[in-house]
Amino acid sequence: MASRLDALVKTLEGFDSVLDVGTDHAYLPIKALQENPRLDVSASDNKKGPLSQAKKNLEAAGFKDRVRLYLGEGLEVLNEPVDVIVMAGLGGTTIQKMVLDKADLDVKRLVCHPTNNPKAIRQLAHLSPFKIVDEIFDIDQGVPYTLIILEPGSVKYTEKELLYGPILLKKRPKEYIELLKKEFAFTLGLVDQIPEGVKKDQFIHQSQLLKEVIDDGA
């Protein structure tokens, strides 16, 4: 199983510069520079505490002067050209808002690791000039994670693709399908418990979509 950190760093291959939004303890900048010492790295966080710890960690790793640190919200700290923006460990809705709030965002790649609501990331393909070029699903220390990678372009996705991922639906990683099977069983349980009404209809529809996804590989 690939760790989230290793998977994130791999998405930077072939690019010259990166901004890590919500860097927390600067684990990604440190790992990225260990893999590619020539990478130009910036990092930001909206809290002074984590940013202070990030500075200490960078000094301990020998990268004190290799990473520009910024205190600020979202992409407001972006004041210079950058190839890749990484937004990891944030909610899907939060990441979506960051991207939409930044007018004329000009980057080569967005790497998104939402802690929830991956649909909000995929909706960016309908709301901004980006398309999904890859999706990665894996399990790190027992915790499933999804990376969604976007680059400039235009593609429209179906409801099923927005919910479960256009590329993951093609790749069909075993662990991902097993997770969807559990979600399907849980949704069926809700259908049995909820009284008739709009909410029940929504869960019935969701269960039907999940069954279609699961049966596609049968």
40, pLDDT greater than 60: yes
Please state the separation of Cα 168 from the chain's center in Å: 13
Mean pLDDT of 101-110: 93
Give per-residue pLDDT as tens, 73-88.
889 999 889 999 999 9
Q: Which residue would you say has higher pLDDT here, 1 or 99?
A: 99
Q: Where are the alpha helices (DSSP H) in 79-197?
A: 92-101, 118-122, 124-127, 159-164, 168-171, 174-193
Q: Where are the alpha helices (DSSP H) in 2-73?
A: 4-10, 27-35, 48-61
217, pLDDT greater than 70: no
Q: In terms of Cα–Cα distance, which of 89, 102, 80, 17 is closest to 50?
A: 89
142, pLDDT greater than 80: yes
DSSP state of 63: -
Mean pLDDT of 54-78: 93
Give the pLDDT of residue 165.
97
Give the pLDDT of residue 218.
54
Distances (CA, A) of 61 to 9, 13, 64: 17, 21, 8
Average pLDDT, the chain: 94
Give the pLDDT of residue 194.
86
Q: In terms of Cα–Cα distance, which of 55, 141, 20, 145 is closest to 92?
A: 145
Mean pLDDT of 62-68: 94
Give per-residue pLDDT as tens, 181-211.
999 999 999 998 888 887 889 999 999 999 9
37, pLDDT greater than 90: yes
Q: Which residue would you say has higher pLDDT here, 200 or 36?
A: 36
Question: Band of the pLDDT at 13, cuts 50, 70, 90?
Answer: very high
User: Quick one: residue 87, left, alpha or beta (phi over 0 = left, psi -120 to 50 = alpha)?
Assistant: beta
**Residue written as tokens 């007018």?**
103
1, pLDDT greater than 70: no
